[in-house]
Structure 1
Amino acid sequence: MNRRQYLTRAGAGVGTLALAPLAGCLGELSGSESTTSAEDRTGERELSRAAGTLNEAALALEIEDGGMDDGEVAFDADEPNGLIADARAHLETAAAELDDDRAPDIETLRTYADILEALVVVTETITDEELESDADAVFDATGEDGEFEDASATVDRWMDELEAAEARHVGAVSDYEALDGDRFEDLARIDPVDLEDGIESLGDVLESLVTLVGGFDSMVEGYEALERGHEHVEDEAYERAESAFGDAKSAFEAARETFEEDKNPPDRLADHFDTARCQSGHLTEAAEAFEEAAVAAGSGDLLTANQRDRDAERSLEAADDCTA
């Protein structure tokens, strides 16, 4: 497999931790030890090992993928998480061996570990292999055999996972802002600005995914409202049908507006955004036509009701064709 950083592949401009220009440097620094006097050798050595191991964890945030065209992205969180755990063990030993005046150094590297740990969670979320099938489940809900409940459960799960990832990303930003940049650079021997760039890049991809799933949430609301409208039509409760179809139109309009918020999503999400914009537009038209059909049916204008109903069905077919 070609090895490249996911965010570079995704069009975000820099790698997961902006490590493209740092890869060689971090490779040299990982596991490095400083030269120290005999009396403090253990503590200093463990501190240096902690910094090197954390840099290795940063490098492990690179993603393996099968190429630019297949859209598959693989990420194994075990490697960076294991390295972070090892680094924390080194820091515990260093804290026990070094004098109290070195406590700020220990805390700086612990904060570095906290940041990387949070970024592992974010990276794992945005590279979830189920994204493709989950998006298809939402898009397929427009068909005759659409499973609205399954689509709704899928979106709810993603909303929960993204909320957790956003919280971890906010924590990483806060931790970075609290870092003593000069002390961090002395210990880790990397420019803190590069770490900041990586945090921001991950945030950009996460924000795109939040936007996509937020639009999906509105689409599912629209599907459910359409279903209610059809049930009311079958019961000849046309005023209720009109209200339900109006709710569907509002939900699909909200979805379309949400998808339009991200003009330049990462490559892996671009097709999903295109399909979602296409579907939400046609679904808005379908809901509006169903609404007008219900109004006409309620007033006894069956000719107009049938015509608008056929228009709505054509819009639904067009929405279904968006996935072709």
Structure 2
Amino acid sequence: MPSLFGRKVKVIHHIDHLHPIMKLTIKTILDSYLPDIVKGYGFKYADPRWGEPIFIPYGYLDGEYKDTLQAFKKVMEEINDRKDDGLNKFKEWYPDVKFFDIYRFVQYSVPGTEEGYTPGIAVDPLMNYNYFKDGMEEVKNEIMGDVVVATPSLSSFTEFKFYDPIINRRNEIIDAYIWLNRTFHENYDKDKMYDETLGRYYMNFIFNFLEEFGKGRRLSEITEGEVLLIPMFVWGKNKTFDNISNNIVDTWKNSKLFKDSMFHEIDALPVILNKQYLNSIIEKYSNKFNKVILISDKKLPQINKCTECPSSLGNLKILKEGNFSKIFLAK
């Protein structure tokens, strides 16, 4: 029984050698961290530059557990025991961001130990991230006065008021991912292991954080102001859903991604922040603002060639175009 990280622990070389409930816990949290949804609020999980600074060998998770929530509590205890040192390394890599106690879980092995290698799980913390840096730079002199943002995608790094079409669909989103994960594990996991109780618990934990984070700036409805700022994610062809319905699961079921069993490419955010949604915002509210400003996370062609852009922008007068932005006169 060698010493790992200063403590004598049993070396467990495979997840199958853990208690079945801990194995179920790990397989569940690996698929329950909602990367697309946190992106919709201007967050992402930090990518390590090398290795995994917050690593838990399987040996530390050895033991018996009555249910997945108890096993998950043990996982979080181990994270808390070592997160400070790990976060210091992440802060070296990303000195200008804030980190939060929400984590992505990944399987990982440390090579070169006494046993040859040490397998376990690693966690990467949530951080704020500006997906629209270039667009914001182009329009920085235009976003003054009373600004309303049409989505929460800038909420982690600005103080603007924002409308949130995601949070009201919280239960639907969680139900959709429970269905997707359960479907995947039932069909493609030899162990058929995914725990709905823990999956729902962790996704609710993430949503609780997102709901509280922008609480004071979240608008229940868009009223009026000087600038309506519209952040637009440009989805790749493999992320675009042609037949978007009012229901996330129905949209997924009708997609090529689902029919091709590309489960890990299926996201809820492109269903929610789709072109139809942006069109509806522009049609309903643009006349309540002096300017409408579109910013994108990717370069855009000119407005008359921009198939990615909401078609309702064609009803407004274009004032200025940049590589990542378009400014319109709304009144």
TM bin, normalised by shorter chain, reads: under 0.3
* Structure whose residues are more often strand by fraction: 2
| Structure with greater Cα Rg | 1
Q: Normalising to structure 2: TM-score of the pair? A: 0.25
